[in-house]
Structure 1
C-alpha cells in the first residue's frame, strides 16, 4: 500500500512521523523516530539548506556518486513495536528518463528510509499487515476529539487548584492515567492476534471498535488529550483536563452508586421512619 509523509510531530523526548495511507481512508501510521532523524526530515521537507551536508544528504550524495538512486522504500514489518524497512536502489542508465536497472534492496531503519525517499522523491509503501496493525484514524478526527475534551476542561471551574509546578502536574496526571482502564487495549490485542492468524476481516472489525472508542468514549478522549498535552509540554492544559477528568469520574461513580441501589436504601429508611 502506498503511503506518504503526512506530518512530523516533534515534542520533548518524542518524535513521530505520520505516514498517510493513500487508499482514500485518510488513515495514518505513526512511526516513532529519533530527534536527529526527525529534524533532518523536517529540514528537507521545508527545504532548509545547510552549509554542510547532513548525514542523509551525504548518503544521497554517495548513492548518486556510484551511479544509483533510490527507486522506492518499503516499510515491511513490525515486531515488538519496532518497524523494519527496505531501501530499493537502481542503477541510473545513461539515457535521460530511462528506468533504473540492476535494482538491489538493503535493510534499513524506517527513519533513514523515509529521509532518503523524501530526498530522492521516491515512492513509499507499507505492507498490508502494518496498515491493519498500526494505522489510526485521520489526525484531524483525533485532533477534534482532543480539542473537544480540552474545551470541556477549559470551561470547568478550577476550584481553587492553586499554583502547581510542572513536576507536580506531571505526577498527578500520570497518577490519574494509571487508574484508567483503557477499553482499546483488549481490542488491540485481539486485532494483533487476528492479523497473525490472517483473519483480516476480524482484524478490521476490532480496528473499527478501537476507532469507535476513540471517537465516542468521553473519558478516553480526555486521556488522549492529557497524554498529548503532557507530551507537548502544555502543562496548564494538562492540569485542566485532569481536573475535568476527576470531576467526570466522580459523577459517573455517583451515578453508578445510585443505579445499583445506593439511593433506594435512603428511600426505604424514610418509609421505615414514617411507620
Structure 2
C-alpha cells in the first residue's frame, strides 16, 4: 500500500462541546484533509509545539519524552497512521537507536505531538485517506477566516451547531492587554488559549 505524506494544517475546536478538538492534517500533494478528534491535553501539547514562541515554564509530557530520547540517542524517524477502525485512528512511531529500528504503537495524538518535536514526517496509507479524507470547500463569506470555517466542520463532525469563534473575544483587546493575557495563559499552562492569543497578536502585527 502506498504512503501519503501529511502536514499539520492546524487545530480546530468545538464551541459547543467542551474538550472537543480536531487536528486537521493536509495531504502534501493534494487537497484532502484528514480530521482527527483529540483530547484537550493533546491539543495543548500539539499547539505548544506548533507555536515556537510559546515556552512552557516546565516541560510537558511529550517534551520530557524528547529530552529522555535525546539523552539516550533515540530518534523518531517518522510516524505512520496505519489503521482506522470504528472511527479510531491507530498509529506507529518508527524509532532508531544504534542503527536499530523499532516500531512502537501509539495513540495518534501522542505520535503527532512527538513527530513535531523531532521534526519527523507524518504519513498515512492511501486507503485510509480515501476512506476518511474530506475536502474542506466552502462558499466564501465576507470576513470569514479559514479557521472559523474549519470550526464549523469540527462541530458538524461532532453533531453540534457552531457558535462564534473564541478568537472574536480577543479582538476588543489592545496589544498590551493581549501580551498580558498571553503571559497569564502560559503561566497557567493553558497553551491552547495561549496559541489563540498568539494568533491574534500575529494578525495585528502583520497588519500594522
Which TM-score band (shorter chain)? 0.5 to 0.7
For the residue of structure 2 that corresponds to 1:233, the secondary structure is coil
Aligned: 1:41 with 2:46:
yes
Aligned: 1:29 with 2:34:
yes
Match of 1:120 among 115, 118, 121: 118
Match of 2:134 among 122, 132, 136: 136
Q: Which has the higher contact order (CA 8 A, sep 6+)?
A: 2
Unaligned runs of 5+ in 1: 93-100, 151-222, 236-275
Displacement after TM superposition at 1:69 (Å): 1.0
For the residue of structure 2 that corresponds to 1:83, the secondary structure is strand
Distance in 2 (CA, whole Å) between partners of 1:131 and 1:15 is 20
- Whichever of the two has the greater Rg, that structure is 1
For the residue of structure 2 that corresponds to 1:67, the secondary structure is coil
- CA deviation profile, 1:80-114 (whole Å, cap 9, x unmatched): 1010000011126xxxxxxxx11111000000000
In the superposition, the TM-score normalised over structure 1's length comes to 0.50
Match of 1:70 among 68, 76, 87: 76
Which of the two has greater strand per residue? 2
Displacement after TM superposition at 1:67 (Å): 1.3
Residue 89 of structure 1 aligns with which residue? 95
Displacement after TM superposition at 1:13 (Å): 3.1
Which of the two has greater helix per residue? 1
Q: 1:49 to 1:79 in 2, by over 3 A?
A: same
User: Aligned-residue CA RMSD in angstroms?
Assistant: 2.7
- CA deviation profile, 1:103-150 (whole Å, cap 9, x unmatched): 11100000000000011100110011211100000x3x23x36x49x9
Residue 7 of structure 1 aligns with which residue? 10
In the superposition, the TM-score normalised over structure 2's length comes to 0.65
